[in-house]
């Protein structure tokens, strides 16, 4: 009998993820579909399990991030990875997540978010405002705003670093620290949290067209919309 390596890897990755209940909003869900965030926060049973291929893609991204973090560690004066944040004061409800990297260079503390993407997505970054995905900008700014509130760390700047998994091309975007972005972040979390506090299912309004394709509740959402007709 032949041992199928793909099967072994799939089984390993399927058993490698923690299966706890959400006790807060996930910062990584910033500026995504409010209905999806509602389902996440209320621990609604998933109707669309993550495909094995997607799990493998995420695993490759995690490995790439770990490798990058170790390279940065050798050069940074101050360095922390997967820095955990949990706060309810900034946005009025519990939000939590892990900052990919906090590193100090030349006395400047930078908050880094690493994003590994394929070559096609990398090509389209130029067409985005500020050259970055809006969700990624708001995710980084959410971390920054919370650290401003908690005073745990004094962040001087935030950057999103995109890695092309196919060629290791790199694009580094500085997150603009301006009133426009900070107000947009406040509005985004106020909306998402508001639906949860009121116990009202948000409308099915993904921020990006591709969200539904990868949503863990796509089937439930579709059936819910059909029931309204």
Q: What's the pLDDT score for residue 1?
A: 58
Q: Kindly report the backbone phi and psi dihedral angles of residue 66, in degrees, each rounded to the nearest multiple of 5, phi listed first.
A: -60, -45
Give the pLDDT score at 18. Answer: 57
pLDDT of residue 49: 85
Determine the pLDDT at residue 166.
84
Q: What is the pTM of this model?
A: 0.89
Provide the pLDDT for residue 153.
93
pLDDT of residue 73: 83
Q: What string of pLDDT tens digits covers the 229 residues of the chain?
A: 566 888 888 888 777 665 668 889 999 999 999 999 999 999 999 999 888 888 888 888 889 888 888 888 888 878 888 899 999 999 999 999 999 999 998 889 999 999 998 888 888 887 888 889 999 999 999 999 999 999 999 999 999 999 998 888 999 999 999 999 999 999 999 999 999 999 999 999 999 888 999 899 999 999 998 876 5
Per-residue pLDDT, 17: 63
């Amino acid at each position: 009998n032949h041992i199928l390596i793909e099967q072994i890897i799939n089984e390993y990755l399927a058993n490698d993820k923690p299966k706890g209940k959400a006790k807060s909003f996930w910062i990584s869900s910033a500026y995504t579909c409010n209905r999806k965030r509602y389902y996440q926060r209320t621990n609604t049973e998933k109707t669309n399990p993550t495909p094995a291929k997607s799990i493998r893609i995420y695993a490759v991204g995690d490995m790439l991030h770990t490798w990058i973090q170790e390279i940065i560690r050798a050069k940074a004066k101050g360095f922390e990875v997967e820095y955990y944040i949990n706060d309810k004061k900034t946005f009025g409800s519990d939000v939590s997540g892990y900052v990919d990297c906090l590193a100090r260079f030349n006395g400047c503390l930078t908050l880094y978010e690493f994003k590994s993407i394929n070559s096609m997505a990398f090509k389209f970054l130029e067409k985005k405002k500020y050259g970055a995905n809006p969700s990624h900008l708001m995710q980084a700014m959410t971390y920054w705003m919370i650290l401003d509130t908690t005073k745990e760390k004094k962040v001087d700047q935030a950057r999103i670093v995109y890695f092309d998994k196919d060629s290791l091309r790199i694009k580094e975007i500085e997150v603009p620290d301006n009133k426009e972005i900070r107000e947009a972040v406040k509005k985004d979390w106020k909306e998402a949290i508001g639906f949860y506090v009121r116990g009202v299912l948000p409308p099915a309004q993904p921020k990006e067209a591709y969200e539904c394709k990868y949503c863990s509740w796509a089937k439930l959402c579709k059936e819910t919309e059909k029931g309204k007709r």
